[in-house]
Amino acid sequence: MSARTSSDGGRELPEPSATSAVSQDEGCAPALDPGIPDPLACIPGTVVLVSLARQRLVLYRDGVPVAEYPVSTARNGPGERIGSGCTPRGWHQVRARIGAGAPVNTVFVRRRPTGETYGPDLACKSPDRDWILTRILWLSGLEPGHNRLGEVDTFRRFIYIHGTPDVTPLGLPASHGCVRMANADVVALFDQVPAGTRVLIQE
């Protein structure tokens, strides 16, 4: 079965067939990219992987990759310190889900809708604005001293997975630290990711 590709570049992977299903006796599910070890193949439940090297986000369900989307992480590369403008690495969780039911292109500032809807006119008025649109998944670190507490606290850095204008290039690092996604993709992800979902950000 071939994978379906959305107009935004996201790829929904086919459901595993009976012959590809993996039990505990059979080991772990195959990696999404053969030849690259898959760190989430044996973890049950819903888990999100963000690959900084590939600029992709992969949604796993019971160890099986079920959807993949292009993203844009920090232009400054990986890093955990407050004020670095970098994307933090390691294990996180979705601490808060913001924007459920909001129209696509809803503009958020400090996690609250402004009443604006992103479009060409608004873009022309504020060409340098860092747009946060449609949905927000606010991340919190799970590794004290690495991405939690002190000067490396992901939550206090306001690191989100969020929507971005559809004209924003994806697949290359360009954000200020957050994980940017196409609006249609962040809606699809949001609907499948409850609060508390684990997120692994790796190089």
Tell me the torsion sign for CA atoms 35, 39, 42, 46. Answer: negative
Query: Which amino acid does the sequence have at 79?
Result: G
- Give the residue, 6 or 138, on which the prediction is more confident: 138
pLDDT digits (tens, 9 = 90+) for 127-186: 889 999 999 999 999 999 999 999 999 999 999 999 999 999 999 999 999 999 999 999
CATH class assigned to 4-202: mainly beta
57 SS3 class: strand
Say whether pLDDT at 194 is over 90.
yes
Domain range list for the chain: 4-202
Digit-coded pLDDT (tens) for 31-75:
445 444 566 778 889 999 999 999 999 999 998 999 999 999 999
pLDDT band for position 9 (cuts 50, 70, 90):
very low
Contact 57, 72 (CB under 8 A): no
Determine the pLDDT at residue 58: 95
Amino acid 16: pLDDT: 33
Residue 5 has pLDDT above 60, yes or no: no
Separation CA 37–CA 96 (nearest Å): 30
Please say whether the beta carbons of 50 and 148 come within 8 A: no
pLDDT at 190 over 70: yes
